[in-house]
Amino acid sequence: MQNRLAHTAEHAFIGSLQKIIGKTLTVRKVEHLEYDNLVIIRDADLNMDIIIKAEQEVNSMITQGRRIIVHTFHSLGEAKDQIPNLRANENRIVNNQSIRVVEIEGHDWAACIMDHAANLKECVLFLVTQVNMVGAESEINFVVSDAAKNTALDISQRILNICKETGANYDTVEQTIKKLKQINRIS
């Protein structure tokens, strides 16, 4: 079940990233593990602001309860004619093969054979946990559902511990850490 939810949230996330940067992305690899997940995106020109904005949009769509709609087409050509911004790994599609397209209601369309949630609301929460920029690729780890809630609580505890150790509060902790970093560079 976790993979089904993570895969659905990943579709929404890629759709949000595409909408923000204004181009179709190439997803090189997706791994859905027991607890967390990884998506590797090629040539994306991503930065933390874009990733955070996409994360916020996914969570907004989860709250809205966007439906997951499955479409079937006779061929990839027919699917592309009907959905010009369709994402599809064409290397995996056999010519003249029936194509299954998964739609995040009015948001993202991808040729996909995996299982998905019926509604984004089932994903509960989407949380990016790590971002690595490696050459022309972005490696983004994320969690959903109970794993996301547990991770959010862990992050909150860690931030509160950092605030205690630095004498900062939630609103000033970033500035405090930047100042400490600058002081240590000078020393």
In a domain, 185, yes or no: no
* 103: nearest Cα among 117, 89, 90: 117
- DSSP bridge pairs for 183: none
Rounded Cα distance, 97 and 129, in Å: 37
Instruction: Point out the least confidently predicted range of 13-27, 88-102, 133-147.
Output: 88-102
pTM (predicted TM-score): 0.89
Q: Which is it for strands 68-73 and 37-42: parallel, antiparallel or unpaired?
A: unpaired
**Structural domain boundaries enclosing 67:** 2-145
**Phi, psi values for residue 129, rounded to 5°:** -110, -20
Average model confidence (pLDDT) across the chain: 91
Show the CA angle centred on residue 4, arms to residues 3 and 10, nearest 5°.
85
pLDDT beyond 60 at 169: yes
In a domain, 106, yes or no: yes
124-155 confidence digits (pLDDT tens): 999 999 999 988 899 999 999 999 999 999 99
Mean pLDDT within 11-30? 92
> What is the number of structural domains in the chain?
1
CATH number at residue 82: 3.30.980.10
pLDDT beyond 90 at 33: no
In a domain, 96, yes or no: yes
